[in-house]
Amino acid sequence: MNFLQQLYGPFFDVHNWQEVFTSQSDWLIILSLVLLECILSVDNAVVLATQTQILKTKKDREKSLFYGLWGAYVFRFLVIGLGTYLIHLWEIKVIGALYLAYLVFRFFDHHKKGRQTHKLVKEQGKISLFWRVVIQIEMMDLIFSVDSVLASLAISSNPVIVLLGGLIGILCMRGIAEVIMGLMHRIPELETMAYVLIGIIALKLFLSIPMIDFEIPSGVFALIVLLAFVITIGIHYLRSREKSK
Predicted pLDDT at 234: 92
Is 93 or 146 the better-scoring residue by pLDDT? Answer: 93
pTM above 0.75, yes or no: no
pLDDT digits (tens, 9 = 90+) for 94-106: 887 888 888 788 8
Give me the amino acid identity at 74: V
Is 117 or 148 the better-scoring residue by pLDDT? Answer: 148
Predicted pLDDT at 120: 42
Distances (CA, A) of 202 to 20, 43, 44: 36, 10, 11
* Whether the predicted pLDDT of 237 surpasses 80: yes
Is 114 or 56 the better-scoring residue by pLDDT? Answer: 56
Predicted pLDDT at 241: 85
The answer for residues whose C-beta is within 8 angstroms of residue 39's C-beta and 6 or more apart is 218, 222
- Range with the lowest mean pLDDT among 38-42, 151-155, 208-212? 38-42
pLDDT digits (tens, 9 = 90+) for 150-174: 667 667 778 888 888 888 877 776 6
Is 55 or 9 the better-scoring residue by pLDDT? Answer: 55
Which of the listed ranges 43-47, 146-150, 221-225 does the model predict with the highest average pLDDT?
Answer: 221-225
Predicted pLDDT at 60: 87
Residue 231 pLDDT level (bands cut at 50, 70, 90): very high
Mean pLDDT over all residues of the chain?
A: 76
Query: 150 and 164 in contact (C-beta within 8 Å)?
Result: no
Is 1 or 128 the better-scoring residue by pLDDT? Answer: 128
Predicted pLDDT at 132: 82
DSSP-assigned letters across all residues of the chain: -HHHHHHHGGGG-HHHHHHHHT-HHHHHHHHHHHHHHHHHTHHHHHHHHHHHTTSSSHHHHHHHHHHHHHHHHHHHHHHHHTHHHHTT-HHHHHHHHHHHHHHHHHHHHHHHTT--GGGGS-S-SSS-HHHHHHHHHHHHHHHHHHHHHHHHHHH---HHHHHHHHHHHHHHHHHHHHHHHHHHHH-THHHHHHHHHHHHHHHHHHHTSTTT-----HHHHHHHHHHHHHHHHHHHHHHHHHHH-
pLDDT digits (tens, 9 = 90+) for 118-148: 444 455 557 788 888 888 778 777 777 766 6
Residue 116 pLDDT level (bands cut at 50, 70, 90): very low
Predicted pLDDT at 123: 54
